[in-house]
Amino acid sequence: MSEQPQEAVEDETGSYESGLPGFLGTIDEWIAKVEAVMLAGGVILMAVNTCINVIGRFIFGEGLFFSGEINRILIILITFAGIGYAARHGRHIRMSAIYDAFPAKGRKALMIFIALFTSVVMFFLCYHSYGYIETLYDRGRILPALGLPIWWIYIWAPIGFAITGIQYLLTAIKNLTSKDVYLSTGVVDGYADSESEV
């Protein structure tokens, strides 16, 4: 039997609705829309870039000289935009055998600890990734084909870590202030029986 986490973040149209009230909910929904556009656009641009490069190699005998650098930029963008998106939708990989054995109050306490600890780790990584960008900036290296400063392409790392850290912090707050256990601000912990939905 296949089991999936129950989601409470998407309505019938598939648009994201934050589990947060007021101003925080509005900001969360805005960030979710920006992330979705970045992820979709990044994947589409990478596919188009790769296809054009392959066609160029087979038809003209020479691909785009900057294709590899563009894909490198897009992979970094997708990766670090994706970690915040996954946190918002409760989609990160979980080892839940012990967690699932706890009663509801134990799961809530454990989820608060997990969310707070993960938030601290994300902010720690944000701080160190910013330091890495400063190092790249001081070295003045550039991408050979595009001629862009190399630190520009890594700017998404601290942004992605910061957004993910904020998401986990908000998840901890949501669990502290609500009756149910939440995997993210809008995803209630639990499983849906996919066979009964057919």
How far apart are alpha carbons 91 and 24 in whole angstroms?
Answer: 21
Mean pLDDT for the chain? Answer: 82
Share of the chain above pLDDT 90, in %: 28
DSSP 8-state code for residue 65: T
- Encoding tokens for residue 190? 């639990």
- Whether pLDDT at 125 is above 70: yes
- Give the SS3 label for residue 194: helix
- pTM of the model as a whole: 0.77
Confidence of residue 57 (pLDDT cuts 50, 70, 90): confident
CA–CA distance from 40 to each of 25, 34, 70, 107 (Å)? 22, 10, 16, 34
Q: What are phi and psi of 126, to 5 degrees?
A: -60, -45
Confidence of residue 143 (pLDDT cuts 50, 70, 90): confident
- Whether pLDDT at 193 is above 70: no
pLDDT of residue 118: 93
CB 188 within 8 A of CB 6: yes
pLDDT of residue 123: 96
pLDDT of residue 45: 93
Each residue's pLDDT tens digit, 71-93: 999 999 999 989 988 888 887 77
